[in-house]
Amino acid sequence: MDKLIIRGGNRLSGTIPISGAKNAALTLIPCALLTEEPLTLRNLPRLADIDGFQHLMTQFGVSTGIRGKRPEEFGRVVTFEAAHLTSNVAPYDLVRKMRASILVLGPLLARAGEATVSLPGGCAIGNRPIDLHLKALEAFGANIELTQGYVKAMAPDGGLPGGDFDFPVVSVGATENALMTAVLANGTSRLFNAAREPEIVDLCNLLVAMGAEIEGIGSSDLTIHGVKKLNGATYKVMPDRIEAGSYACAAAITGGEVRLEGACEADMHSTNAALKSIGVEIESDKHGMTVRADGQLKATNLSTAPFPGLATDMQAQLMSLLCKAEGTSVLKETIFENRYMHVPELARMGANIETEGRTAIVKGPADLTGAEVMATDLRASMSLIIAALAAEGETQVRRIYHLDRGYERLEEKLQLAGADIERVGDE
Ligand code: UD1
């Protein structure tokens, strides 16, 4: 298994291109199931999770054609065509590798009237149920059965009537599944307390381009008037705000200056506010953002929350940055339980962090030193890389398949900005 070797201390400087957003791509791809016509997605990131999802789509008879870009370029163009669905079953072997597979449930149900999807397994960042996905589909008139580890959703004869659902907890995935179902229902559906992350807006914009009728896009109350048919479309995946935020932390922890080409400031207000409160300067224009940290980093207090609050997917990376800030910072993780698995690994690198329940107290600045560390989940892995860039000596990060799920050509991008990082095969 590959590992990454990072020798810390280089000040990052240069330009890093920002890829298409993984979490947007994972909800845009299943939209291909909603139409007989081709759906072409541009700017799809080259990631293990995207390859996995493409493979899952072939299970339903969807043809996928990769067009385009030369291997040395970032992103690619893929056309998905679901002219005839040959199956509406997502088997365990494909689903267990990727939680986002649950996002085929709604579109398969909407298009085929029936869908059977293996229940996604437990997850390293806490117990992640799918009850809200199922309750929303039930509110639209679906009949749900759970048997032998599978969820089977069925529309009544004549199709789903549609209906109203008020989310008791804001859920990105459940909002996405609900939207992809309601667009083809017979009647009107309303979602209250829906997630309004930029990736949800990206999904709504694609659905509208395909002929869907959605009101309230960008707000937490959405009204969806079902239509009989959706058409194909060509659509560009939004830039990855979490990738951009991660490289911003990487630049800042080295006291560097990095241009994040393609980053969209409008999607990043809370991350940028957090960075600014730590003393990082940010300038943005319509093509990207420049991040600079040449002064002292300051401690701050941060709490994750649904959008427009601070993304839970930025918590680990900001925590690494705060290890080098002067003073005591308090972090609160309000979205997921058990999302501090990077803490013991950061401690092995010299960080001074205490956790109690969902609160973490970070005392800085710590003298970070290189160590052998283990990646535990996607964003936790990135926090170790960020710490390693500012650590004295060499850090080896193992289990980097987590990083390959979500960061397109990570070491290449960091090398572009002058980091000393290489991927080596493990003996
Ligand atoms: C998505 C993102 C993930 C991000 C998360 C929160 C993708 C592929 N993943 O995950 O990177 O960290 O949003 O921004 O886009 N919940 C329930 N019942 C449900 C669903 C969720 O109780 O049926 C709870 C979860 O346990 C969690 C909270 O709701 O506490 C938010 O989870 P959710 O927004 O659904 O996360 P995902 O969509 O899985």
Minimal-distance CA residue to ligand 1 atom 8: 23
Q: Which of 335, 339, 379 to mutate to test the pocket of ligand 1 (most atoms within 8 A of CB)?
A: 335
Q: If 0-12 CB within 10 Å is exposed, 13-18 middle and 19+ buried, where does residue 236 land?
A: middle
Q: Could you tell me if 318 and 250 are in contact, meaning their C-beta atoms sit under 8 angstroms apart?
A: no
Instruction: Report the DSSP beta bridge partners of residue 123.
Output: 126
Q: Are strands 76-81 and 39-44 parallel, antiparallel or unpaired?
A: antiparallel
H-only helix segments in 305-341? 315-323
What residues are labeled active site?
123
What's the 96 CA to ligand 1 centre distance in angstroms?
16
Digitized pLDDT (tens) for each residue of the chain, 427 residues in all: 889 999 999 999 999 999 999 999 999 999 999 999 999 999 999 998 999 999 999 999 999 987 755 655 677 899 999 999 999 999 999 888 888 999 999 999 999 999 999 998 655 666 778 999 999 999 999 999 999 999 999 999 999 999 999 999 999 999 999 999 999 999 999 999 999 999 999 999 999 999 999 999 999 999 999 999 999 999 999 999 999 999 999 999 999 999 999 999 999 999 999 999 999 999 999 999 999 998 799 999 999 999 999 999 999 999 999 999 999 999 999 999 889 999 999 999 999 999 999 999 999 999 999 999 998 889 999 999 999 999 999 999 998 888 999 999 999 999 999 999 999 986 6
The model carries a pTM of 0.97
Minimal-distance CA residue to ligand 1 atom 13: 172
Ligand 1 interacting residues, C-beta cut-off 6 A:
23, 26, 100, 128-133, 169, 171-174, 195, 311-313, 335-336
Minimal-distance CA residue to ligand 1 atom 20: 130
What's the 250 CA to ligand 1 centre distance in angstroms?
25
Minimal-distance CA residue to ligand 1 atom 15: 23
- Which residue matches tokens 């997502």? 90
Q: Could you tell me if 131 and 158 are in contact, meaning their C-beta atoms sit under 8 angstroms apart?
A: no
Q: Which helix (H) or strand (E) holds 166?
A: strand 164-166
Minimal-distance CA residue to ligand 1 atom 17: 129
Structure letter (DSSP) for residue 392: B
What's the 199 CA to ligand 1 centre distance in angstroms?
13
The CATH number, out of the four listed (3.75.10.10, 2.60.120.640, 3.40.50.11540, 3.65.10.10), of the domain defined by the range 2-19+239-425: 3.65.10.10
Question: Start-end ranges of CATH 3.65.10.10 in the chain?
Answer: 2-19+239-425, 22-236
Atom of ligand 1 nearest to the CA of 131: 23
What's the 171 CA to ligand 1 centre distance in angstroms?
5
Atom of ligand 1 nearest to the CA of 126: 26
- Compute how many other C-beta atoms are within 10 angstroms of the C-beta atom of residue 419: 27
Q: Which of 128, 312, 315, 379 to mutate to test the pocket of ligand 1 (most atoms within 8 A of CB)?
A: 128
Which of 246, 320, 196, 249 lies closest to 19 in space, CA to CA? 246
Q: Which helix (H) or strand (E) holds 346?
A: helix 342-348
CA distance 191 to 34: 20
CA distance 27 to 50: 10
If DSSP codes are grouped into helix, strand and coil, which group holds residue 266?
Answer: helix
Atom of ligand 1 nearest to the CA of 130: 23
CA distance 360 to 48: 31
CATH topology of domain 22-236: UDP-n-acetylglucosamine1-carboxyvinyl-transferase; Chain (3.65.10)
Which of 297, 304, 349 lies closest to 331 in space, CA to CA? 304
